[in-house]
Chains A and B, each alone.
Chain A
Amino acid sequence: MSESVIIVNNLTKVYPGGVLAVDHISFEVKEGEIFALLGPNGAGKSTTIGMLTTALRPTEGEAYVGGFSVTREPAKVRSIIGVVPQEFSADEDLTAWENITLIGYLYGLPRDEVKRRAEELLQMVGLYGVKDKKVETFSGGMRRRLEIAMGLINRPRVLFLDEPTLGLDVQTRAAIWEYVLKLKKDYNMTIFLTTHYLEEADSYGDRVAIIDRGRILVIGRPDELKKSVTWDTVEVEVTGPEDTIRKALSGIRQIKEFTFVDGRLVVKVSDGPLAIPQIVNALSSMGLEVRKLSMSRPTLDEVYMHYTGRSMREEFISKEEAFAMRRTLRRARS
């Protein structure tokens, strides 16, 4: 069994002014795992990362990263982690090269080593060609890639990524994920990330924790989470009397319920791939012809909805708008 590289115990943050941003959360992250913290705007994701990366002091509770306490041994924690913050953190007035080497020196790395790593990392994220350009000329995707490179200069054991793909277009998001997966594979790095993209948490997270209003609602592998609260949906186009269909399906254990919608049969089942052949067989044996069949699997949004009664998708729209506005403001100001 692999070890826990992050251990979080009743971690709590109350901001001055009384906002309870993170409310007694506890979880563990295993070595080499991609752990995704998924939740809507204001759920407390950045605050959690802030505390785990020692930038924020917890109000209550404790967390250990790589065996070091974030409150009592912050310097040790800092030396083994890499952080890619939600907000761009590179200095706009400096070049990509100046930015990444600066961070290298802050880790106390020798000059030659800093240069070697900076070169290697900028190559990896495809920014070596523009290394001497000022960051203010970079696009959002380039900035994010630079931030990731900067977060890796100390070869961290644990990499924290706060919404690494926020506000990026689909291709750039895919490219960023390629890097992240490569890192995990090449360095066996543990990756702790937050995201608001359900699909990303679903397809890249080894485990997902859903956070809402400062509380963790559920933790697990994405497929387990979905299975635990919801069903696959099988839609069948079949002609025949409803009674006959009802009779045909009555013996299949995986079926939770079924309804008729616009002449189509909509079946909720616990395990789609297993249930489909049985449904087809049962209908055929009654002499009914299946003309078309499709299956849809649940997303993490259904899981989120199950726990909160709200859909996460809707809440993200405002977040993206707010972000776009902030960026425009920042551009205008500089």
Chain B
Amino acid sequence: MSKIKTPHLHGLWALTNRELKKWYKEPVILILSLIQPILWIGIFGKAMNLANMFQGASISIPGLTIPRQIIDQIGNLVLKETFGTTDYFSFLAVGMLSFIVLFTSMSSGMTIVWDRRLGFLGKLLTTPVPRGSIIISKVLASIIKSLAQATIVLLIGVLLGLRFSFSIAMPAAFLLMYLTLFLLSFGFSSLFLMLALRSTRWETQMAIMNLLNMPLLFSSNSFYPISYMPWWLKPIALANPLTYANAITRWALIGVTPGVSIMVAFAYLVAFAMLFAALGITLSWRFLSL
């Protein structure tokens, strides 16, 4: 019998690599997952651009013609007041970054269900790879996928007319964006993996995802600012990690004044990621089984 090293890191990377291979070798799924955020950008950002309601027309009341420039100025004021920027398209496109991260991270739970159904998990559990590594590898893979997909959404956003207006130096702004999305993905991947630890039916997992994705999206500032929400939605939006991720990325990339301090928002995301990662890994050690 040959000498065997501790299987921690070897196994962790091998498992992460497996998840990634399954992902990039199947470009159809990759492309499909990008359709939704791009559709949102297209529909809300271009076709139904809310900004058009405030811009681009002159009002003619008999005897009183308000010149177009003035209307635009008023419109821009209102826009600025509402969204923190006059560029609703950019506002939305940046919001889609956290959206794609949420959706990509969510589906990590599915991979456990499939691994269980297809016998792979059973095999894993008889090897000396630590239980925690199984979960951590899935979280890692999910983060890498999320960040890659977010990058694609960002590029498409730029192609469609996203205009940057950095609040800090450009490299720092992008670094902050990736850090933010990393934390968001970390938390959501752990959360959804945790929900799938014992699940044997992918239908259940699907239902959980469908139950949570739209409410999470619409109870955040992804489409419109919190100040325009009904009173009952505000506390939910304020608890929603997406809100804080959007606040940071919009501030860094397109100069939108955040509703909260950036430090607080960042701290909130760190806490969110740590809490669910710790929970997920601890529970998997205890409960991950056939």
Name A's B-contacting residues (CB within 8 A). 50, 53-57, 75, 78-81, 83, 85, 87-94, 98, 101-103, 105-110, 113, 150, 154-155, 157
If A88-B119, A93-B26, A105-B10 touch, whether A81 touches B1 (CB-CB below 8 Å) is no
Chain B interface residue count, CB cutoff 8 Å, equals 31
- A81 near B126 with CB under 8 A, answer yes
A85 lies within 8 A of B119 (CB): yes
Residue of B nearest to A88 (CB): B119
Interface hit among B17-25, B49-57, B227-235: B17-25
> Which among A87, A89, A109 is the interface contact of B4 at CB below 8 angstroms?
A109
Bound form: Cα–Cα A163–B52 in Å: 68
B171 to chain A, nearest CB (A): 35
Q: Is B5 a contact partner of A110 (Cβ separation < 8 A)? A: yes
Given known contacts A92-B118, A108-B4, A108-B11, is B21 in contact with A78 (CB within 8 Å)? no
- Report the separation of the CA atoms of residues A79 and B10 in the bound assembly, to the nearest whole angstrom: 14
List, sorted by A's number, 23 A–B pairs whose CB atoms are closer than 8 Å. A53-B126, A54-B126, A55-B122, A55-B126, A55-B290, A75-B130, A79-B128, A81-B126, A87-B122, A89-B119, A91-B118, A93-B26, A102-B14, A102-B18, A105-B11, A106-B128, A106-B129, A107-B11, A108-B5, A108-B10, A110-B5, A150-B123, A157-B1
Whether a CB of chain A sits under 8 angstroms from the CB of B65 is: no
Q: Write the B21-34 contact mask toward A (1 if CB under 8 angstroms, else 0).
A: 11001100000000
Per-residue interface assignment for chain B, residues 110 to 125, with 1 indicating a CB less than 8 Å from any chain A CB and 0 otherwise = 0000000011101111
Give the one of A78, A89, A105, A107 with max B CB within 10 A: A105
Q: Which residues of A contact B129 (CB under 8 A)?
A: 106
* 8 Å CB contact of A83 from B2, B26, B118, B123: B123
> What's the nearest-Cβ distance from chain B to residue A235, in Å?
47
CB distance from A138 to the nearest CB of B (A): 14
Contact A54 B125 (CB under 8 A): yes
The one of A50, A92, A93, A107 in contact with B290, judged by C-beta atoms closer than 8 angstroms, is A50
CA–CA, A81 to B118, complex, Å? 21
B11 touches A91 (CB 8 A): no
> Does A93 contact B22, Cβ atoms closer than 8 Å?
yes
Q: Does B6 contact A (CB under 8 A)?
A: yes
Complex formed: what's the CA distance from A286 to B124 in Å? Answer: 70
Q: Inside 8 A of B36's CB, which chain A residues have their CB?
A: none
Known A106-B128, A107-B4; further 20 A-B contacts with Cβ < 8 A: A53-B126, A54-B125, A54-B126, A55-B289, A57-B289, A75-B130, A78-B126, A79-B4, A89-B122, A91-B118, A93-B22, A102-B18, A105-B7, A106-B10, A106-B127, A107-B128, A108-B5, A109-B4, A109-B10, A154-B4
